[in-house]
Amino acid sequence: TSDERRCFSHFQHFTIPGLLELFDSELWKQLVLQISYSEPAVYHAAVALSAVHQDVEVSGMPLPGQTRQNIWQKFALEQSARSFGILSRRHASDPHLREVMLLCCLLYSLLELLQGQYERACHHLQGGLRILRELKVQKPLADETESPVEKCLVAAFVQLDIQSTYYGVDGPVLCVDNELGKYQWQLKNTESFASLIEARQAIEPLVSGVFRFTSQSWPLSPADVARDYNALLPRQYQLLSQLTHYAELFTPFYTHAYPTLTRKEQRGSDIIYILHRTLTLSVKTCLLAKNPAVLDIYTPEYQEALYLVEALLHKYPERPAFTLDVGILPSLYLISFGCYDIRVRLRAIEVLQQWPHREGLFES
């Protein structure tokens, strides 16, 4: 229909460029559009996502759990139902069924996230992750037999899986930090990362490990930390060692290659630099059980991290409303949650409010 064509055009010219704003991805640059033209289930899922995206552009981000009733939402529901109906009629022996199902699960998840429906989004996410787990797919680019579509889809699901750690959905499922050995080909260079893509891929298992560790350790009371200290301390040391190793490879790249990068790549490098700083800081402080005397020592480091985020926003005024990639939100969350100085925490919250947007499961 003409409405479908208009929404798909919006998906192509606005939704996808937003998803590509922070980092490049072959999934969004090329594969989604290619598959949409040949797979009606994916086409209608993309149209539904575009309809919700347009509603968000007009009315802003909904609050979590808030239900909107308008023409965009109704159209998105109709398109989602069409997509699901087509998908359910596919034969199990279809060689392309797995890729189509995974891509639809991803689009359904993003659609629900844009509507603030975390439970439904995570339901679709878990569906895709179950498919990946059953196939024993544990990490993008670790298995050279995967198709380009599979590699891109696994990468996208890994991102959301890592982010789900803080959202009470029994995540992450893939636990890619446990698969760090598969990434040694990225860490074998003892001098520097060769590209931004390599640096970004190598930090993913560290993000997963830090998110898992901090989500488990932050709620602990001083008595809990004391009781489990012998088990917690080795994991903390392991993460700090991995983060230090990462810094040894990233710092030369960040220092020497930065002037030769495109503006977009420079922003990506800045984001990774800030993220690494805040990940390291959160691991350092997560076992202190809100001990003010000790935590206050780290206030200057939190202030520096916040300054870096503020400088990034000043340097790059282009701000997408919706992206799958981790940008500044995890860093601001870690600062606003972990810093002892309430003035720094309030500044971080103010920065969150200055840029209303979503980064995967993180929403400002």
End residue of a domain, out of 156, 174, 192: 174
Q: Is the dihedral of CA 106, 107, 113, 116 positive or negative?
A: negative
If asked whether residues 110 and 206 sit together in one domain, one would say no
- pLDDT tens digit string along 62-79? 877 777 788 888 999 999
If asked whether residues 90 and 114 sit together in one domain, one would say yes
Q: What is the pTM of this model?
A: 0.88
CA 215 vs. chain centroid, Å, equals: 16
Confidence at residue 185, expressed as pLDDT on a 0 to 100 scale: 40
End residue of a domain, out of 124, 140, 174: 174
Confidence at residue 46, expressed as pLDDT on a 0 to 100 scale: 97
If asked whether residues 65 and 151 sit together in one domain, one would say yes
Nearest CA to 130 out of 165, 110, 157 is that of: 157
If asked whether residues 160 and 201 sit together in one domain, one would say no
Angle at 110 between CA 64 and CA 363, to 5 degrees: 40
* Residue ranges in the chain modelled with pLDDT below 50: 137-142, 180-186
Nearest CA to 79 out of 52, 116, 109 is that of: 52
Burial of residue 265 (number of CB atoms within 10 Å: 0-12, 13-18, 19+): middle
Q: Which amino acid is at 235?
A: R
End residue of a domain, out of 141, 159, 174: 174
If asked whether residues 265 and 277 sit together in one domain, one would say yes
Q: Which amino acid is at 201?
A: Q
Q: How many domains does the chain have?
A: 2
Provide the 8-state DSSP code for 258: G
If asked whether residues 300 and 360 sit together in one domain, one would say yes
Confidence at residue 170, expressed as pLDDT on a 0 to 100 scale: 56
Confidence at residue 14, expressed as pLDDT on a 0 to 100 scale: 93
If asked whether residues 102 and 117 sit together in one domain, one would say yes
Confidence at residue 139, expressed as pLDDT on a 0 to 100 scale: 47
If asked whether residues 108 and 164 sit together in one domain, one would say yes
If asked whether residues 127 and 210 sit together in one domain, one would say no
- Domain extent, residue 350, equals 177-364
Q: Which amino acid is at 249?
A: L
Task: Find the farthest-apart pair of alpha carbons in the chain and give their distance in angstroms, rounded.
Answer: 64
Confirm if 149 and 99 have CB atoms less than 8 A apart: yes
If asked whether residues 205 and 111 sit together in one domain, one would say no
If asked whether residues 200 and 169 sit together in one domain, one would say no
If asked whether residues 162 and 188 sit together in one domain, one would say no
